[in-house]
Copies of this chain bind each other. A is one copy, B any other.
């Protein structure tokens, strides 16, 4: 990461916009501390908090940024001799000032600088840093809990980060380029007899080689019906579909999030292909529905209706498309939302909960399926979102008495039994909201049956 010069002007501009939104009110941002894995000195790779990274660009463990109107001061610990021995030469305060455009001060001078009582903050991701924020500000700061005095700061950060600037879009394109290579490598590595972990390894190799990191726990599974499957030990068999939900985070901390589903044998069976085409149609219809001003929930419903229509066509669902969607029957096979915000976090701004994902006055539905919709805002220019419809046959759903009741007379179990070689399919793209509607950032990752089979055929 230190190999890439910071986009200093972008970060200066972000801090300037923030100062305007806050009317000069001071705000404190914590980079956070590395999280221990086995013991204090054995940590997970450090990932600075997204709000901090968005405004500073450099992931400096333990650092704090104080924004006061046009003045931005970065507080960090001075380098020690042990740092130099164990971690090499670190940038001096002057070098850091030149890189970031912030004034740099020693971390131990921060309490003095915070003597004003009305400094807003956002909770760090790790508890150790939250404890530090609590001490510094003399009030309780904890993850997932926003004090009323911090709400305007949260809203300002949401407003800023929803409208991705040029620098953000460039970084997302970098993440997508890596992810594109990862999916190509995953397809090439797939053949009957390999384990899911072999394919995952081939995909993550591309990400690590590019200096990035997986933006989230990679899902690479022949059991796509487990939505957040985190095991990778199964062997891929010729009749399986492999679902790979793998996205790179760029070295500067921007996420991509892509799912493809491909046949291990290289050729979709007729049943797999039939359902795949339904999901693909939903993916395309939802992307076509994306435009500034459109309510995201409606994009979800476009996908749901497309799936319902396709499944009615196959005889798998019975009834009127709109009723199947309205009554939540479609959600038996498509139980999650069509997507979410994307940015520095794979579910962008989810540290702020539904305050980020849901427009004021909108709340989550209580209905099964729709309750998992993570985003219900009107789309605006520069917003980045995922579009990821899916089809799953989840045993737990059909084992649930209430949900099984919902299926009665509307799901043709005999027809469903014919699709036994389809357990889970998802097709997910990253989409930028543009004036003309939508730009699919992930367009280069094979998606049509013909394109996927062509890549697999060339293994």
A residues adjacent to B (C-beta < 8 A): 1-4, 35-45, 47, 49-50, 81, 84-89, 125-128, 131, 143-144, 195, 197-198, 200-202, 204-211, 216-217, 223, 225-234, 251, 335, 344-347, 350-351, 394-397, 400
Contact B125 A38 (CB under 8 A): yes
Residue of B nearest to A397 (CB): B85
Would you list 26 pairs from A and B whose C-beta atoms are within 8 A, ordered by A residue? A2-B233, A4-B233, A35-B36, A36-B126, A36-B143, A38-B350, A40-B350, A40-B351, A41-B350, A42-B347, A45-B217, A81-B396, A84-B394, A85-B335, A85-B394, A85-B397, A87-B228, A87-B229, A87-B230, A89-B395, A195-B209, A198-B209, A201-B206, A204-B204, A205-B208, A211-B233
Known: A1-B233, A43-B217, A86-B226. 13 other contacts (CB 8 A): A3-B231, A35-B36, A35-B44, A40-B143, A42-B346, A42-B347, A44-B44, A87-B230, A88-B223, A88-B226, A89-B395, A197-B208, A201-B204
A346 contact set on B, CB distance < 8 A: 38, 42
A202 to B207, CA, bound (A): 11
Contact A345 B42 (CB under 8 A): yes
Q: How far is the CB of A232 from chain B (nearest CB, A)?
A: 6
A351 contact set on B, CB distance < 8 A: 38-40
Contact A88 B229 (CB under 8 A): yes
A87 contact set on B, CB distance < 8 A: 226-230
A198 to B210, CA, bound (A): 7
Q: How far is the CB of A234 from chain B (nearest CB, A)?
A: 8
A85 contact set on B, CB distance < 8 A: 227, 335, 394, 396-397
A344 contact set on B, CB distance < 8 A: 38
A438 to B205, CA, bound (A): 35
Q: How far is the CB of A95 from chain B (nearest CB, A)?
A: 16
Contact A42 B216 (CB under 8 A): yes
For the complex of A and B, 8 pairs with smallest distance between CB atoms: A84-B396, A3-B233, A88-B226, A201-B209, A201-B208, A39-B351, A127-B127, A35-B35
A344 to B37, CA, bound (A): 12
Residue of B86, B125, B211, B223 near A37 (CB, 8 A) is B125
Residue of B nearest to A37 (CB): B47
A226 contact set on B, CB distance < 8 A: 86-88
Known interface pairs A37-B47, A127-B128; A205-B201 also in contact (CB < 8 Å) = yes
Contact A211 B230 (CB under 8 A): no
Residue of B nearest to A217 (CB): B45
A47 contact set on B, CB distance < 8 A: 37-38
Contact B86 A126 (CB under 8 A): no
Residue of B nearest to A200 (CB): B208
A86 contact set on B, CB distance < 8 A: 226-228
A217 contact set on B, CB distance < 8 A: 43, 45
Contact B210 A197 (CB under 8 A): yes
A234 contact set on B, CB distance < 8 A: 3
A438 to B41, CA, bound (A): 28
Residue of B nearest to A346 (CB): B42
A131 to B131, CA, bound (A): 12
Q: How far is the CB of A181 from chain B (nearest CB, A)?
A: 11
Q: How far is the CB of A159 from chain B (nearest CB, A)?
A: 18
Q: How far is the CB of A220 from chain B (nearest CB, A)?
A: 10
Residue of B nearest to A194 (CB): B209
Q: How far is the CB of A186 from chain B (nearest CB, A)?
A: 12
A44 contact set on B, CB distance < 8 A: 35, 37, 44
Contact B39 A125 (CB under 8 A): yes
A77 to B100, CA, bound (A): 46
Residue of B2, B88, B126, B206 near A35 (CB, 8 A) is B126
